[in-house]
């Protein structure tokens, strides 16, 4: 692959999607879909979006990508972390297996990974962590999901030396919409942002590489693309490093 040095390379960013009934024109049928805010944020930050529906999952697709976004959506099934289902937990097993498989493949390959809301929960579960299935059970005054289809807002602090702090500073706020959250943090992850009530707002790997899971929804704030810009920069660097390595090998064959 040759890169045009006259303009920045637009890294290929995989985004996981829903697969469920939707309507368009005169049609109503199953469809692969994703809120446009994710796609728009990737494009605005300098990437090329590649949608990955939870049908015919092939983890090796990460080899074609420069970065992977595990998008928000439905609850993660509690069977994935050995818990009994809560009455308010609603999961999509096919999407769980899809997202978990791609997450583990990206981690193994060192592909930059940006896990958003449900994605952060998937990241934690993929590495052996667990979830709070209904936040109001432990934080009755929480407003992380104010009303159906209404985003809340969360203030949080970030940890020194983290991706979160490097991109957002020591304090930040963001739109949020969730009723589940990280509980037991998996080995290999560290908390890098938290709300004042203790809710985990960001996790990163302890082994290096660009891996960031956030409980909030940065794609819902198009005026603040700092996390997406940082992710796209990491994806571009990953591609350039991999390409340079390939060229180096070919020159010595």
Which sequence positions are flagged as catalytic? 117, 217, 219
* CB contact set of 8 (below 8 Å; sequence gap of 6+): 46, 236
**Residue whose C-alpha is closest to residue 189's, from 171, 178, 205:** 205
Helical pair 93-109 and 118-126, crossing angle rounded to 10 deg: 70
> By C-alpha distance, which of 88, 174, 177, 86 is closest to 130?
86
Q: Work out whether strand 181-182 and strand 171-176 pair parallel, antiparallel, or are unpaired.
A: unpaired
8 A C-beta contact, residue 122 and residue 115: yes
**Which residues are CB-contacts of 201 (< 8 A; sequence separation ≥ 6)?**
154, 156, 193, 194, 195, 214, 215, 216
Q: What is the token pair recorded at 160?
A: 């020194």
């Amino acid at each position: 692959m040759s890169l045009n040095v006259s303009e920045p390379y637009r890294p290929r960013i995989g985004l996981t999607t829903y697969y469920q009934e939707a309507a368009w024109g005169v049609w109503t049928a199953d469809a692969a879909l994703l809120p446009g805010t994710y796609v728009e944020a990737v494009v605005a930050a300098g990437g090329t979006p590649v949608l990955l529906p939870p049908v015919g999952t092939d983890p090796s697709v990460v080899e074609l990508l420069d970065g992977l976004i595990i998008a928000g959506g439905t609850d993660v099934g509690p069977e994935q972390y050995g818990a009994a289902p809560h009455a308010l937990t609603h999961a999509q097993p096919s999407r769980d297996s899809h997202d978990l498989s791609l997450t583990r493949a990206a981690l193994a390959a060192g592909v930059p990974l940006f896990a958003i809301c449900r994605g952060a929960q998937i990241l934690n579960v993929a590495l052996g962590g667990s979830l709070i299935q209904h936040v109001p059970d432990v934080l009755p005054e929480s407003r992380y999901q104010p009303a159906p289809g209404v985003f809340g807002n969360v203030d949080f602090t970030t940890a020194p030396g983290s991706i979160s702090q490097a991109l957002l500073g020591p304090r930040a706020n963001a739109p949020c919409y969730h009723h589940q959250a990280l509980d037991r943090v998996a080995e290999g992850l560290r908390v890098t942002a938290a709300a004042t009530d203790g809710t985990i707002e960001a996790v990163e790997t302890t082994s290096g590489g660009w891996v960031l899971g956030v409980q909030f929804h940065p794609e819902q704030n198009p005026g603040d693309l700092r996390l997406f810009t940082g992710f796209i920069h990491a994806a571009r660097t990953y591609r350039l490093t991999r390409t340079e390595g390939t060229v180096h090998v070919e020159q010595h064959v």
